[in-house]
């Protein structure tokens, strides 16, 4: 059965958005809107699987929304909203809690990492999180999901849930007139290699909001001086840049900076090295500062302007939620028929 092609993705409103979020996710979201109908969700229900200070949660929800808009996602053509405003996410997640198997969730590496030694004391929500993610995608019957490497396993699980639902309820799907297969098996859109942005202090660690040193990351709201300072202080090694990509292999910090340059410029590492091979870091870093300030400066200042107008941001989220609800409501009605719930 052919499903209407549709993109769905989510970003958690936790902490400050940084260059890794921008290059790894948001720029991809922007590009996809030319080819697909896209639904971009600020996933506040996911955020509370670990403790969030309530005023901060509101602030970061609006901040992610501002980042979407400032980066160029069109909130009129696409749908931008926050998850908690569309109740069907939680509703379908419950049904999926009853479709997914305990053994499937026990294999989730992100849960194991996040729970660590403190397994008895993490929220039930953190464990069931992948089922909610499946509901996010499938409540819109989305076919394509841009995700980073770290979310691939969760997307696989979404496919397993969709598949099991289609098989378990096959008879009911048909007898209720919903065709042969109800849910599409959503496909990942995996980002290119240049988009894994690493810490500016340690090229072997991902750039992260939870790293204590702010010098490890470039926040989207950093001003030009801060961006310049952070890049100048970024860890490097004493050698000049190589001319071939091969030469970056044993040099994670060099590779990271070259990768950032390539991603911001919309090119690849090889062509950056064609330009800068043989240059000292002082020279390359100056160019990287200029490029970063040119690309990120306008986004940061637009974001700052937008977050000062929460009434406007909230109106975007309300409008997006209303449009999302129409699609989600239709899916949920059908799911109720298929599962056997009596409904109005
Ligand atoms: N789990 C994702 C993350 O932490 C966020 C997310 C929630 C998501 N629901 C989604 C991503 C649905 C893609 C599709 O990054």
Q: Is 269 a catalytic residue?
A: no
Q: Which residue's CA is the nearest one to ligand 1's atom 4?
A: 12
Higher pLDDT, 16 or 76: 76
Question: Tens of pLDDT along 37-64?
Answer: 999 999 999 999 999 999 999 999 999 9
Which of 151, 152, 185 has the most ligand 1 atoms within 8 A of CB, as the residue to mutate? 151
Q: Are residues 106 and 225 in the same domain?
A: no
Residue 192 has pLDDT above 80, yes or no: no
Quote the mean pLDDT of the chain: 95
- pLDDT > 70: percent of the chain: 98
Q: How far apart are CA 199 and CA 208, in angstroms?
A: 7
Q: Can you say how many angstroms the Cα of residue 228 is from the centroid of all Cα atoms in its chain?
A: 26
- pLDDT > 90: percent of the chain: 92
Q: Is the CB of 146 under 6 A from ligand 1?
A: no
Q: How far apart are CA 21 and CA 200, in angstroms?
A: 14
Q: How far apart are CA 63 and CA 70, in angstroms?
A: 10
Give 194's pLDDT tier (boundaries 50, 70, 90): very low
Ligand 1 centre and the CA of 24: distance in Å?
Answer: 13
Is residue 69 a part of any domain in this protein? yes
Total tally of structural domains belonging to the chain: 2
Residue 113 has pLDDT above 80, yes or no: yes
Least confident stretch, 47-56, 92-101, 114-123, 186-195: 186-195
Q: Are residues 115 and 28 in the same domain?
A: yes
Is residue 85 a part of any domain in this protein? yes
Question: Tens of pLDDT along 209-267?
Answer: 889 999 999 999 999 999 999 999 999 999 999 999 999 999 999 999 999 999 999 99
Specify the CATH number for the domain of residue 37.
Answer: 3.40.50.620
Is residue 266 a part of any domain in this protein? yes
Is residue 240 a part of any domain in this protein? yes
Ligand 1 centre and the CA of 180: distance in Å?
Answer: 28
Q: Which residue's CA is the nearest one to ligand 1's atom 14?
A: 9
Give 279's pLDDT tier (boundaries 50, 70, 90): very high
Is residue 202 a part of any domain in this protein? no
Q: Are residues 266 and 186 in the same domain?
A: no
Q: Range of 294's domain?
A: 214-305
Q: Are residues 138 and 233 in the same domain?
A: no
Is residue 286 a part of any domain in this protein? yes
Ligand 1 centre and the CA of 309: distance in Å?
Answer: 26
Q: Is the CB of 147 under 6 A from ligand 1?
A: yes
Q: Is 209 a catalytic residue?
A: yes
Q: Are residues 189 and 52 in the same domain?
A: yes
Q: Are residues 163 and 104 in the same domain?
A: yes
Strands 37-42, 6-11: pairing kind? parallel
Q: Is the CB of 136 under 6 A from ligand 1?
A: yes
Specify the CATH number for the domain of residue 296.
Answer: 1.10.240.10
Q: Are residues 152 and 236 in the same domain?
A: no
pLDDT score, position 41: 98
Q: Is the CB of 145 under 6 A from ligand 1?
A: yes
Question: Tens of pLDDT along 80-110?
Answer: 999 999 999 999 999 999 999 999 999 999 9
Q: Are residues 139 and 284 in the same domain?
A: no
Ligand 1 centre and the CA of 89: distance in Å?
Answer: 13
Q: Is 235 a catalytic residue?
A: no
DSSP for 189-219?
EEPPGGG-PBPSS-TTSB--TT-S-GGG--B
Q: Are residues 176 and 52 in the same domain?
A: yes
Q: Are residues 76 and 166 in the same domain?
A: yes
pLDDT score, position 190: 80
Ligand 1 centre and the CA of 247: distance in Å?
Answer: 35
pLDDT score, position 2: 78
Structure-token pair, residue 170: 């096959």
pLDDT score, position 1: 60
Q: Where are the alpha helices (DSSP H) in the chain?
A: 19-21, 27-32, 44-47, 54-71, 88-97, 102-106, 109-115, 124-138, 152-168, 170-175, 224-233, 252-265, 269-276, 281-307, 310-339
Q: Are residues 37 and 128 in the same domain?
A: yes
Q: Are residues 187 and 322 in the same domain?
A: yes
Residue 193 has pLDDT above 70, yes or no: no
Question: Tens of pLDDT along 145-162?
Answer: 999 888 999 999 999 999
Name beta bridge partners: 135: none
In this structure, what are the phi and psi dihedrals at residue 37, rounded to the nearest 5 degrees? -80, 130
- Let me know if 45 is exposed, middle or buried by CB neighbors in 10 A (0-12, 13-18, 19+): buried
* Catalytic site residue from 58, 114, 235, 304: 114
Residue 93 near residue 125, CB atoms below 8 Å: no
Distance (Å) of CA 170 to CA 1, 160, 178, 312, 339: 14, 15, 10, 44, 10
Ligand 1 centre and the CA of 250: distance in Å?
Answer: 32
Atom of ligand 1 nearest to the CA of 150: 15
Is residue 201 a part of any domain in this protein? no
Give 293's pLDDT tier (boundaries 50, 70, 90): very high
Is residue 136 a part of any domain in this protein? yes
Which of 10, 12, 42, 161 has the most ligand 1 atoms within 8 A of CB, as the residue to mutate? 10
Taking residues 309-319, what's their average pLDDT?
Answer: 98
């Amino acid at each position: 059965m052919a499903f209407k092609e549709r993109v769905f993705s989510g970003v958690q409103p936790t902490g400050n958005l940084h260059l890794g979020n921008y290059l790894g996710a948001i720029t991809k979201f922007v590009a996809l809107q030319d080819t697909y109908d896209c639904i971009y969700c600020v996933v506040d229900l996911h955020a509370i699987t670990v403790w969030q200070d309530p005023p901060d949660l509101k602030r970061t929800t609006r901040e992610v929304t501002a980042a979407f808009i400032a980066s160029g996602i069109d909130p009129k053509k696409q749908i931008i909203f926050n998850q908690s405003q569309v109740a069907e996410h939680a509703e379908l997640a419950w049904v999926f809690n009853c479709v997914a198997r305990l053994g499937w969730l026990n294999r989730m590496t992100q849960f194991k990492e996040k729970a660590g030694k403190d397994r008895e004391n993490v929220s039930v929500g953190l464990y069931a999180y992948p089922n909610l993610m499946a509901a996010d995608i499938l409540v819109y019957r989305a076919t394509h999901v841009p995700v980073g490497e770290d979310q691939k396993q969760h997307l696989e699980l979404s496919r397993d849930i969709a598949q099991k639902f289609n098989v378990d309820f096959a008879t009911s799907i048909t007898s209720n007139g919903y065709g042969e297969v109800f849910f599409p098996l959503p496909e990942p859109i995996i980002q290119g290699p240049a988009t894994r942005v690493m810490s500016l202090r340690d090229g072997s660690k991902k750039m992260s909001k939870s790293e204590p040193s702010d010098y490890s990351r470039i926040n989207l709201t950093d001003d030009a001086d801060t961006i310049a300072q952070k890049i100048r202080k970024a860890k490097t090694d004493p050698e000049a840049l190589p001319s071939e990509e091969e030469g970056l292999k044993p040099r994670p910090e060099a590779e990271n900076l070259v990768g950032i340059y390539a991603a911001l410029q919309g090119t690849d590492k090889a062509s950056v090295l064609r330009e800068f091979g043989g240059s000292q870091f002082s020279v390359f870093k100056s160019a990287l500062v200029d490029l970063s300030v040119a690309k990120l400066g306008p986004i940061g200042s637009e974001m700052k302007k937008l977050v000062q107008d929460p009434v406007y941001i909230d109106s975007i989220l309300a409008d997006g939620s209303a449009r999302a609800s129409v699609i989600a409501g239709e899916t949920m009605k059908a799911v109720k028929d298929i599962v056997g719930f009596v409904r109005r």
